Structure 1
Amino acid sequence: MTELRPRRSVLYMPGANERALEKAKTLPADALVLDLEDAVAPDAKEAARERVCAAVGTYGSREVTIRVNGLDTEWHDADLRAAAAAGPAAVVVPKVNSAAEVHNIERALELSGAPEHTKIWAMVETPVAMLHAEEIATASDRLTVLVMGTNDLAKELHAEFVPGRAPLLGGLSLCLLAARAAGKVILDGVYNDVKDDAGFAAECLQGRQFGFDGKTLIHPSQVEPSNRIFAPSAAEITHARRVIAAFTEAEAEGRGVAIVDGRMIENLHVDNARRVLALAAAVGTA
C-alpha cells in the first residue's frame, strides 16, 4: 500500500489575521486551510490574499492549502491566479456543483502556471452538489479531496442542527460513496460549538465510523481530539498486526482464510489491517 498522507485534522485559519497565521505554525493539525472566503471581510480581501500567499511556504512540511472565494464572486479569478503563483498543496474551492466547474478551475490553474503539486479540493455543500457528487469526484485527476460544507448544506435544506445529524446523513452518504468510487479523500464538515467538547468528540467518532478521512476544524482546541479519534488506537494496531500475521501463516499452509478471536479473516480484512498500520505509521503511532 502506498504511504498515506494523514488528514485527521484540517484547520481553517483566517487569512486576514496575521497572528492566527503565525500561531498555526505551532499547532499539530495535519493540514491547514488559509482562508480567503468566509473569514475575510470584503474590504480586506486583497490584503488577505497577499498575506496568505506569502505565508504558504513558511509551514515546513505541513500540508498547506488556500481556500479561495467562490466561482461566482468578484475575487475568485484573482484568488486563483495568486494561489497558482504561491503553489500551495491545494486550492480549496467553495460550492463546486458540477464537473464543468471542476474543469474550469483546472483550466484556470493551468493557465496561471500552477505547479503540478497544487491540487484541487472541491467543497460540496449544496443539494445540487450532493446529487452530482460522483461527476464532481471523477471530473479530474487534479481533484484529490472532497470537503463537506455541512453548514451551507443544512441552510439550503432548511434543516436543523441536531445531535447525530440525521437531516444531513443522505448527503454525507452520497458524497462518501462518490469519493470512494473515485478513489478520492473526503473530509467531514465543521462542528460549530467550540465549547461543546463532548458533542465534538461524538461527531468526530460518527465521521470516522462513516468512513471520513478526517474533519475540518474551526478552532485550535479541536485539533487534538480530532487527531486522536481519527487515528488508529493501540488496540486497533495490535489487532491489525495479528490479522496480518494469522493470514500470512494461513497462506503459507495453503489455506485461504484464518481465524482471529473466533472470527474468519479474509483478504478484505487484511487490506483493512494494512491500511490501519499505514495510517499509524504516517501519524507516528505504529
Structure 2
Amino acid sequence: MKALEFIRTALFVPGNRPDRVDKAVRTAADVVIIDLEDAVPHSQKKQTRAVVREKIMDYQGRPVLVRINALDTEFFQDDLNTVVVAGLACIMVPKVETVAQIQQINRRLLKVEEKKDMRPGSVSII
C-alpha cells in the first residue's frame, strides 16, 4: 500500500479513548495505530470495536492501523469482522510466531474482505 511504504513515526493510542484517537489523528505522525489489544480491558472490547470502526470511517485518507487481538484469543475474529472496513490501511497482529499463523490470518482476513465486497488484499498485515 502506497501510504505505508515509508513509516517514520507511528503513534499508538488506546481504542477505548476516542478523545485520544481524535487527538492522535491531528498529529504529524505518519500513521496512527489504534490499539484493541493490551490497552483495552476485556470488559470494554466489544464497545471499543464499534468506536474504532467509526473512527476508521471518519479518517478516510489518513493511514490508520488497528492492533487487533492475537490469533489464539476469543477476540480475534470479532476484531476482524468489526474493524475491517473501507479506509483501514492495515491490521497489526501481536504474538505471531510462525509462517502458518500468518497464512491463517491472511486467509481469515481475505474471507472478511470478500464478505464485505472489499478488494482482496486491500488491508495489509503487520
TM-score range with shorter-chain normalisation? 0.7 to 0.9
1-structure distance, mates of 2:3, 2:52: 29
| Partner SS, residue 71 of structure 2 | coil
Please name the residue that 2:125 is paired with.
120
Q: Could you say which residue in structure 2 is the equivalent of 1:8? A: 8
Aligned to 2:65: 65
Question: 1:7–1:88: structure 2 CA closer, same or farther, 3 Å change rule?
Answer: same
Identify unmatched segments of 5+ residues in structure 2.
none
Partner of 1:111: 111
Ranked by relative contact order (alpha carbons within 8 Å, sequence separation 6 or more), the top structure is 2
The percentage of aligned residue pairs carrying the same residue is 34
Q: Report the TM-score when normalising by structure 2.
A: 0.86
Q: SS of the counterpart of 1:73?
A: coil
Number of aligned pairs?
A: 120
**Which digits, 9 at most, give the CA deviation of each residue in 1:78-101, with x for residues without a partner?**
101222235510111001100100
Alignment of structure 1 residues 21-60 onto 2, 5 Å: 21-60=21-60
Q: Distance in 2 between matches of 1:49 and 1:60?
A: 17
> What is the Cα deviation at residue 6 of structure 1?
2.6
How far is 1:23 from its partner?
A: 0.8
Equivalent-residue separation in structure 2 for 1:95 and 1:82 (angstroms):
20
What TM-score do the two structures reach when normalised by structure 1? 0.39
> Which sections of structure 1, spanning at least 5 residues, go unmatched?
122-286
Asked if the contact 2:32/2:65 (under 8 Å) is kept, the reply is: yes
Greater share of residues in helix: 1
| Conserved? CA contact 1:53–1:86, under 8 Å | no
Residue by residue, what CA displacement relative to the aligned partner does 1:40-83 show, whole Å, maximum 9, x if unpaired?
00100011111111111322432111111011211111101222
Alpha-carbon separation, structure 1, partners of 2:107 and 2:96? 15
Q: Of the two, which has the highest radius of gyration?
A: 1
**Equivalent position SS for 2:7:** coil
Secondary structure of the structure 2 residue equivalent to 1:85: coil
